[in-house]
């Protein structure tokens, strides 16, 4: 199995799932190497810290230069699962699981950076968050609100038929674990009023 993205190549090998950050030809080689090493190191820290505070993420087996060797989560992708023939009760349950996980991240100063259901996997009824490549450490309420704005846009574009149910369930779960939920939701509303949000992107 090999999957190529804008930032990295994912391949399933004997020692686990390998995420290899690819070289960007438009960058000076020395700068490119520095950026890739820094982002690899940061993502490793984010995954490890998220797991430490109670969020399910792939276990890290090792790091080599621009490669992260991690656990392969062989489960169901939430993007497909939420649009499949499941009950609204199950959707609501999954929405709450997402909310609790994101609330835990934010409570501990972790930003995912790309909260979409493509980056969520359900295995043995446990929700796993994957791909922290655009993540960061931040306690800023604005950053937490932006994280939520990205997720709400993902719900709108990918799960529009179930938007209200998923969002209400998400907020219910988020409030259970986030210590600043009211402030974050207020910031989110301001972001929505501006009619735009700044999504983290690759340079």
Catalytic residues: 114
Confirm if 94 and 87 have CB atoms less than 8 A apart. Answer: no
* CA quadruple 83, 7, 132, 126: dihedral sign: positive
DSSP letter at 9 equals: E
The rounded distance, in Å, linking the Cα atoms of 138 and 134 is: 13
DSSP letter at 159 equals: -
The partner residues of 126 in beta bridges, in order of sequence, read: 123
Can you tell me whether residue 90 is helix, strand or coil?
helix
The rounded distance, in Å, linking the Cα atoms of 157 and 185 is: 20
């Amino acid at each position: 199995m090999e999957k190529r993205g804008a930032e990295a190549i994912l391949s399933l090998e004997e020692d686990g799932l390998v995420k290899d950050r690819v070289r960007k030809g438009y960058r000076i080689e020395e700068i490119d190497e520095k950026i890739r090493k820094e982002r690899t190191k940061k993502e490793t820290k984010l995954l490890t810290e998220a797991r430490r505070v109670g969020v399910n993420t792939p276990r890290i087996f090792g790091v080599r230069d621009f490669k992260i060797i991690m656990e392969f989560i062989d489960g169901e992708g939430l993007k497909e699962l939420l649009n499949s023939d499941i009950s609204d009760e199950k959707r609501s349950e999954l929405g709450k699981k997402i909310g609790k996980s994101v609330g835990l991240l934010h409570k501990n100063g972790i930003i995912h950076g790309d909260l979409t259901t493509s980056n969520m996997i359900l295995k043995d009824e446990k929700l796993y968050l994957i791909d922290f490549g655009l993540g960061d450490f931040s306690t800023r309420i604005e950053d937490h609100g932006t994280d939520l704005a990205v997720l709400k846009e993902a719900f709108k574009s990918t799960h529009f038929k179930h938007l209200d149910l998923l969002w209400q369930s998400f907020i219910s779960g988020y409030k259970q674990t986030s210590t600043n939920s009211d402030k974050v939701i207020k910031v989110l509303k301001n972001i929505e009023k501006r009619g735009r949000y700044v999504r983290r992107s690759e340079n």
